């Protein structure tokens, strides 16, 4: 039984993707910087090379990687943790699967703005 398990482990390589880093929990360490970079690369590749629309060109990948890194940096400046956590939950922990930093930052900004508005005649 052990031999079978070992064979299975080596026969099927483990694909490991970097984990999502909450921008409000970013500590600026090199380890987290590397984790964010790897997550962005993996996510952009998944979205543009493995999806239903094939847009897997180097220029597109680099442009979207840069947009995601810029959005992540902006999102680290967010001030409302409740709104940020709700956005992350909605876009990362649901079937929607739009867990990229461009979407997270955009929706955080829209929700933060909307939270200060009221309906008036």
Task: Tell me the pLDDT tens digit for each residue of 109-118.
Answer: 999 999 999 9
pLDDT given for residue 54 in this prediction = 87
Q: Whole-model pTM above 0.75? A: yes
Least confident residue range of 65-69, 72-76, 92-96, 100-104: 92-96
pLDDT given for residue 96 in this prediction = 86
| Contact of 82 with 24, CB cutoff 8 Å | no
The owner of tokens 């220029």 is 59
pLDDT given for residue 4 in this prediction = 43
- pLDDT at position 6 over 80: no
């Amino acid at each position: 039984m052990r031999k079978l398990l070992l064979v299975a482990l080596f026969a099927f390589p483990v694909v490991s993707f970097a984990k999502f880093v909450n921008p409000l929990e970013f500590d600026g360490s090199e380890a987290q910087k590397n984790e964010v970079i790897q997550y962005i690369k993996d996510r952009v590749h998944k979205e543009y090379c493995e999806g239903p629309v094939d847009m897997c060109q180097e220029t597109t990948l680099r442009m979207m990687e840069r947009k995601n890194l810029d959005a992540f940096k902006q999102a680290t400046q967010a001030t409302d943790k409740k709104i940020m956590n709700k956005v992350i939950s909605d876009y990362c922990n649901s079937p929607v699967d739009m867990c990229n930093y461009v979407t997270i930052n955009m929706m955080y900004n829209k929700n933060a703005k909307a939270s200060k508005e009221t309906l008036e005649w």
